[in-house]
Amino acid sequence: MDPLRDPLDGLSPSLYVATLAEIGHSDGLNPAERDLLDQHAARFGVDLVDLPEVPRDLSILPWATRVLVYRDAVTLTLADEKVSPEEERHLDMTSWNAFERHGVPSHRS
């Protein structure tokens, strides 16, 4: 990975918001999570009613999308002050899978 490239290179705003929405809805979307999701959608000009399908394997998301999803999913899942097993599964799918594909060793190795 070129450290000088634009960190948002390859970002898919609609896929980013769709993935966050799926994570937020995985255990029921509470008002704090909804507010954060609305803010992210507004920031990127994404319509929450017309979101693309999220791939089952989140490790195939474009690198920039995956990194931002992981960063913001942590905040989203903690908005209700608890992380459900469903949210934890999504976080796990975006975290080490994302880094392992780019040669960063896993703590599990």
pTM, full prediction: 0.74
72 sits in which H/E element: helix 63-78
Closest CA to 19 of 61, 64, 78, 63: 61
Triad 18, 95, 76: Cα angle to 5°:
50
Which pLDDT value is given to residue 48? 94
Instruction: For 28-46, give the DSSP string.
Output: ---HHHHHHHHHHHHHHT-
Q: What is the mean pLDDT of residues 45-70?
A: 85
Q: Which two tokens stand for residue 99?
A: 């880094």
Predicted confidence (pLDDT) per residue in 84-106, tens digit: 888 777 777 666 454 455 454 44
Predicted confidence (pLDDT) per residue in 60-74, tens digit: 878 888 888 888 888
Average pLDDT, the chain: 78
